[in-house]
Chains A and B, each alone.
Chain A
Amino acid sequence: MEAGKVLIEIKNLSKHFPVERSLWGNSGGSIKAVDDVTFEIFKEETFGLVGESGCGKTTMGRLLVRLIEATGGGVKFEGVNIFKTPRAEMRTVRQRMQIVFQDPFSSLNPRMKVFDLIGEPLRAHRFCKGRQLEERVYELLGFVGLDIYFKYRYPHELSGGQRQRVAIARALALYPKFVVCDEPVSALDVSIQAQIINLLQELQQKFGLTYLFISHDLRVVQHISSRVGVMYLGNLVEIAPKYVLYSEARHPYTKALLSAVPIPDPTLRRKKMILGGEIPSPMNPPPGCRFRTRCSEAKEMCQQEQPGLIEIGKGHWVSCHLYV
């Protein structure tokens, strides 16, 4: 699925959230939600980003569309560092990068009709108006499989899947190049999830979109992505093309993660790699390799130094001392 050219370059990206001093004498550290992450997203691919709570994938998604400011490093979108772009220009850049959120119930303004929700980006950026706008909205409704009849409905009159379709139509309005999908199907029923995933794939084919698909559900990510990145506590620990990741994962965390996913096949009840312990707090990540506290193969070195991302195969990167 590689189109060869890089659309987004992420270099040493960090986001640290300061923790305020509390009455209990908290020394005021920071939550290192994303810490020194570097990778690339290629044109027209779907880069899947997986991880569990606190891994930073949601923060990453928001950073890539500059919904929040980075505390370190930068993101180059089509060669331009979006964090150094002035606000006014950013408005134009935003036309090409959009985001679809997780919760279809709260990501649409409950007081706006579907027509207005989809038309809003067109109006705000003065793309078109009047008859042209109306036609574009109808066109978008068609792309996401919603009947025109829905245009005067309110979000609360739609089902979860329908709302998510509206959110997708809204994201497509300005002909974006890049769409961040932040757990877009996690809040939906399984049978509806499949509908939305198929829709996203169709739209990608049709419009040559590039996706960053964030999810905690490995099964969904496996299906839709071309390459997958695994995050743990603010770091990227492994990146690989999809089939490679799922059959030849190298990082101990990735292996544990894959092993933990419940497979809908009772004949495959396999012995699981149960990870001991809990996910450490992002305020106080363990020094050295962050995963070592739960890793069955941790060595002395793991405590001293954090491993960097090293390429061990074609397009396969791992951050682990076992593979240096």
Chain B
Amino acid sequence: MSEVRLQVKNLCKSFGITKAVQNVSFNVNKGEVHALIGENGSGKSTLTNMLTGIYSIGSGTFILDGKEIHPKNQVEANNEGVSIIVQELGTLSGLTVAENIFLGHEDQFVHMGIKNTNAMNKKATELLKQYGFDRIKAADIIDNYNFEDRKLVEIVKATYFNPKIVVIDETTTALSQEGREELYKHMNRIRESGNTVIFISHDLPEILDKSDTITILRDGVYIDTVKSKDVTEDDLKRLMVGREVTGDYYRADYGEKVSDEVVLSVKDVTVPGLIEDVSFDLHKGEILGFGGLSESGMHEIGKAIFGASYDRTGTVQLADGTQINDIPSAIKHSIAYTSKDRDNESVVLNQSIGDNICLPSLDSLANKLHLLSDKKLREFSNQFAKQMSVKMVNVNQFVSELSGGNKQKVVLARWIGKDSDIVVLDSPTRGIDIKVKQDIYQLMNQMRKNGKSIIMISEELMELIGMCDRIIIMKDGKISGELERDEAMDENSLITMMVYGGRNGESS
């Protein structure tokens, strides 16, 4: 029996009314890769963020090698022997590679108040060499390197001091196959040295292949800890979701023909520094997906269509020839948009649910004298909030008090109330629990059947594959490939296209 490295005891954490982690307890052993899985919003990242000092601990304890730890920030966590490679970009722009690696630990190079940059660069160069990343130069500004290389720098940053526990939070989806192999190699090295990796990923085959032990969380609650060799992928899915996963989670239909009627055509759209020469058509009743890495420019496409891009060139044109160049005209012509940045761009946080739902529809709700009646507004917002089953006390409640999923429902209620024909959804299920997710998928399917056209921009490949009639893959601001809806499609073909580009992925 291997020794216990970390005990998680009765851990809880709430954000406002939302309970992100509820009374979670489990053990992590020495010398293992311990995977943490669960749907979005199940509390995996919240848990590891508390362990590594990014969030404060709500209640409960972490006991590392018999000693209780409560790090207040990442540097303290590092000093306790815990480090993390985060999901997003974890390096700081404007600093050199060496400065990034030793961020928060510069003291070792400081003599009499003066930092010895040469010594720091020398040490960083040695480390990079040890890791086999010779092509990365310690004195270079980190911005000179692409996403992938920056992730490699993060690996060095998180592991060079031999921490007892390294958390790897959904890092692999962003890496190419080579980058992944590098990462796996270092995970193995850490395991062999008797230290521990806590590994978070959505890729179940990868989890089964690379980890020794798997802990499953669901809606912030601890479900089970299992040995990888004892379970199958289906077992894991069942544990994560809490019931048999049926085909109805995503769309069930295949081979249905999409109408030829074009409702929106985008031609040669360029937004300097973000997207370049993007052209495509959207058809009536179609769900068109956009996939790619976060920096591929795909998020800007939604803004460009909605007239929200700064400095856009090219045309966005409706079937009747109307050109869309700003937000008010987009809304007027029945285009809706939900942003990835939900709290800043989709909902007005410090305003009531009712006002949020009515906001774009006020013109049509006003009477001939342009006057609005409270009763009418309340009925309108109630109707659509109920239709979307927003969990709320009443429509006067502020949106800031709602959970992520309910905020998203408010946004969708607003656009359904506006009866928009073209709906652009950027990361619609980001940070949303599985039940609401299913609601959103069903709603999208319903809208499609009603002849509405949907553009779905998403970083979650499974939902693109499950929901879209067509998927356009973006890389470095350009369209790199296009795939038709196909039952046989899997994530790997998309990932290949996302990372390497090329139009060779046309499925046949």
Interaction A to B: no
